[in-house]
Structure 1
Amino acid sequence: MALSQLSPFSAMELLLASAIFCLVFWVVRTWRPRVPQGLKSPPEPWGWPLLGHMLTLGKNPHVVLSQLSQRYGGVLQIRIGCTPVLEAEYLLGKFQELMSGPGRFDPYGHVVASVANVIGAMCFGQHFPQSSKEMLSLVESSHDFVESASSGNPVDFFPILKYLPNPALQRFKSFNQRFLQFVRKTVQEHYQDFDKNSVQDIIGALFKHSEDNSRASSRLISQEKTVNLVNDLFAAGFDTITTAISWSLMYLVINPKIQRKIQEELDRVVGRARRPRLSDRPQLPYLESFILETFRHSSFVPFTIPHSTTRDTTLNGFFIPKERCVFINQWQVNHDPKLWGDPSVFRPERFLTSDGTTIDKTASEKVLLFGMGKRRCIGEVMARWEVFLFLAILLQRLEFSVPPGVKVDLTPTYGLTMKHAPCEHVQARLRFHIK
């Protein structure tokens, strides 16, 4: 219909809407931080007005950004909206129990529960209710947090979206509220019988710190801050370790030769008369190289947690203004052919020295999973220890496999941590008994 055929009121509405859109578009395009002379802004692919690159990134932003970097370089700018952007023993027994029943199982849920118990014991000590219905319910619904907490969630850049119906966001909010209530209740119970002469967990250490510095209010940690600290520690450590072990089991069942080499190393170094210990780690380089290759190949933490610049700075000659959201595409670094040669191939040997007896330190430091610099994950060391112990204890006693003809789907689903498709056909065979 021609504009002249519309009623005057409709034509005025259309013209007014067009004028507002043009004004907003002009403001968005012209309001940019002033770039100092001699510097330039990072290159930016074409993006949709107002929406930016939200539609371009799709369901696998780590892959799309990797492809864009091949064209625009290692530092590029995108816009989203208008903003630039020692339960292993229990697990072993559980797997044997499942094999005596249906003869196959999906290990993920059991790994989740075991890792939650370890992190819970570290944070809460004897106050952690391992088998309570409340805890099991929280563990089972933890994916609701991961689903909505990934880098680049539209709600982070379009706050108005939080008022629209969003089932995933509602599940995220519900899980956060339930988990915070659980942590708050457990911290309060812990405080009632706290003994500073017998500190056995993280909460106890925080309480003791507060008592020792009670006269210096600036160093006092309130109970609410303690709740928030423990909340962060539990959530961060729990999901990362769970996902690492789950991916490891999938790589083991599709690479039986690699699994046998790890078990031969365990038999040679640890033997069958005792369980593996953390002190065995330096003498188990092939197991360590397998863990590193799992981190690299899966890259299950595709991006670092988004950070914000505290002041104007430069990177590779590009100007980065204050309060700019920045993150690293860890998946791209871990799949860069220039660094790895054959990044799509799962090959633990790439992390061993030429004689195969030790880890190649230079190669191992190229893997990105826990971030980098001063703001890297503070729980990295603990996470590496836990993954090592879980896998060492499980692989010493069990052999994992899937029935002939069953294909394991390693296609990752994007999220804060990327998960592989469920696999309900895992089998575990006991290698030997420890008396």
Structure 2
Amino acid sequence: MSDPNLSEDQMVHQPQQHHAMWPITVQAFLLLLSAFFLALAALQKKRAATSPSTSTPPPSSYPTPRGPFAWPLVGNAMELGSAPHVTLARWSKVYGDVMKIQIGSRPVVVLSGLETIRQALVRQGDSFAGRPKFESFSIVGNGLSLAFNSTYGPTWKAHKRMAQGALRAFSEEEARPSTGTSTASASMCALEEHAASEAAELVRIFLEGSKAATGAAGGTAARGSGVDGPRPPTAKAGFDAVQPLALAVANVITALLFGKRYAHDDEELAGIVALAHDFVKVTAAGNISDFVPAARLLLPSCRDSMRRFTALNHRFSEFIRRRVSEHHRAHDKSNMTDVTSWLISLSQDSKFDENGNVEFPLDKVASIVSDFLGAGFDTISTTLSWSMLYLAAYPDTQERIHRELDAVVGRQRRPSLNDRRQLPFTEAFILEVLRHSSVVPFTIPHSTTRDTVLQGFFIPKDTCIFINQWQVNHDSALWDEPFAFRPERFLSEDQSSVDRTRAANLLSFGTGKRRCMGEAVARSELFLFLSILLHHLRIRTADGQAPDMSAVYGLSLKHRTCLLLAESRS
């Protein structure tokens, strides 16, 4: 009811003043609400910018990686040449660390640069932990291989933990099983015992080979000598270290896996090494059908290659299956003396999953043993044979290792794993061999498990990923004079220890979820073999010339034939 004492004009304005208060309150509320949501959006944007995203953005939101023009049918395969790791490293300078190429009909993303690779395989590891669905991968280990299987998930992770545990049990002193009798003495792990024995055998073989070679050369020279007297030893007066090293490394891994060491002239051991060499040779030739599926139907050579590959895998699998079956029949939980018996025990103790399947079946044991034998052979033996060439090529480096061994170990005992920290230059030499030779130029190809974004580039699910380890190991952004052989680069400033930060920049065994299971074993083997060999021997080329250090591309980078001589230091 209006106030009768108010004028008309006052009555007109009174309700307007009364109702004007509500809109002001609503506006203030809406402004506060808007400010809140704007602040929330800004906070979310900041969080997204400071943390690596593994979510799937729309493909149109990000560009795809750049790369060279791909030709119809063949893609870039013909341009990669005889050294694809070098070609791709050169291309990465043009197209960046995330680069797209095409091999046949299959797109491939090539990753270079240490930080890019770490971002993909470590920080976004789950997104890059797959394997391509290659036909050849499905054949290795009957499709059950941990290393090659495209399946990635909780079961794969559990099996990898079991496999690593079994390997550690016989390669690390503190992790050894306490049950039963071990072939290793109380003072060393099984790995050290086997590797030390094989290294001692190599000392004998190298000295005998050198004696026979120089003796034969002397005789030949005398028979062919002229008025100037006997000629110096010819280029053929030496021994090739490749085969003895391969036999020694194979013996160590078979002893770890099966509890059995062979004589170096044993036919079965020679058969294992020959089978491994054939596998590497056939695999290095490449399986075209992995990239051009129709090639198997159209090209007889491709069919023949896959047939040989399948036959080799069958022979390899049969050898492993027989050994695992023998262990299974004679299995005694109270006397586990090797990796296979340890894995069989895990298989027998494993539980059932929700579908009633054994979580760690016996056929998985065979596939893991196969992985260990394959991974533990070629890379280690090839690195050791490269090491012989580096020792011959850099005598001053060899002499410095000799001095270090004499100062730390002395002449009354042989080097052991316990000496490793006190032998930094010996360790630095091994690291530089791994870096400079880059025996494994690429990891086993990866695959994306989901749509993802890396360094601002969209990469769809199931994309094949190449990791160029050689590029990282020769990247001038990481290494001064990357093509120079300088073990000192891995030492601390006072040269009293290995620079672990610098050593971590080296890529030889992959990284992330699919990092090589046998890396620790490989590093220990390399140290034991080289330190014991150099404790006893001085290595040089047979002809006195610098060795040819050029590499031949394959599954691993091989050096060319080089004949050596070994002299006793005692």
Q: Which residue of 1 aligns with 2:499?
A: 360
Contact 1:144 1:172 in 2 (8 A): no
Q: Which residue of 1 aligns with 2:418?
A: 279
Q: Deviations over 1:315-358 (max 9, x none)?
A: 11111110011121011111111211201100000010111101
Following TM superposition, by how much is the alpha carbon of 1:172 offset from its aligned partner in structure 2, in angstroms?
Answer: 3.4
The answer to whether 1:411 aligns with 2:522 is no
Structure 1 Cα separation of the partners of residues 350 and 106 of structure 2: 41
Does 2:301 correspond to 1:165? Answer: yes
User: How many matched pairs?
Assistant: 399
Paired residues of 2:252 and 2:261 also in contact (CA < 8 A): no
Shift of 1:406: 2.9
User: Which deviations, in whole Å up to 9, do the C-alpha atoms of 1:173-207 show, x marking residues without a partner?
Assistant: 33322221111111111222111111111110111
Give runs of aligned pairs for residues 168-179 of structure 1, distance below 5 A. Answer: 169-179=306-316
Q: 1:306 & 1:260 partners in 2: Cα distance?
A: 39
CA contact (8 A) 1:144 1:171 kept: no
Task: Determine the C-alpha separation between the residues in 1 that align with 2:368 and 2:65.
Answer: 35
TM-fit CA distance, 1:399: 0.5
In the superposition, the TM-score normalised over structure 1's length comes to: 0.87
Residue 569 of structure 2 corresponds to which residue in structure 1?
431
User: Which residue among 102, 106, 110 is the counterpart of 2:213?
Assistant: 102
Contact 1:151 1:306 in 2 (8 A): no
**Counterpart-to-counterpart distance in 1, 2:91 and 2:458:** 19
Judged with a 3 Å threshold, the aligned counterparts in structure 2 of structure 1 residues 312 and 105 are, in CA distance, closer, same or farther, namely same
Aligned residue in 2 for 1:146: 280
1:427 is aligned with what amino acid? L
Consecutive unaligned residues in structure 1, runs of 5 or more = 1-32
Q: Identify which of 164, 187, 193 aligns with 2:324.
A: 187
State the distance in 2 between where 1:72 and 1:336 align.
15
- 1:54 aligned to 72, 77, 90, which one? 77
- 1:69 corresponds in structure 2 to 92
> Which one of the candidate residues 185, 198, 204 is aligned to 1:93?
204
Q: Report SS of the residue matched to 2:453.
A: strand
Q: Does 1:36 align with 2:170?
A: no
Amino acid at match of 1:44: G
1:237 corresponds in structure 2 to 376
For 2:347, the equivalent position in structure 1 comes to 210
Alignment correspondent of 2:245: 111
**In structure 2, C-alpha distance between the alignment counterparts of 1:186 and 1:369, rounded to whole Å:** 30
C-alpha separation between the residues in 1 aligned to 2:272 and 2:352?
38
Q: Check whether the contact 1:147–1:168 (CA below 8 A) recurs between aligned residues.
A: no
Superposed displacement of residue 215, structure 1: 6.4
TM-score by length of 2: 0.67
Change (3 A) 1:156 1:374: same
Q: Which residue number in structure 1 is paired with residue 460 of structure 2?
A: 321
Which string of whole-angstrom CA distances, capped at 9 and with x for unpartnered residues, describes residues 52-77 of structure 1?
A: 11111121110110110011111101
What is the SS of the residue equivalent to 1:339? coil
Task: Give the partner amino acid of 2:62.
Answer: L
Q: Which has the larger radius of gyration?
A: 2
Instruction: Map 1:390-409 onto structure 2 (within 5 A).
Output: 390-409=529-548
Q: How many Å separate the matches in 1 of 2:560 and 2:306? A: 22
**49-58 or 113-122, which deviates more:** 49-58
Name the residue aligned to 1:246. Answer: 385
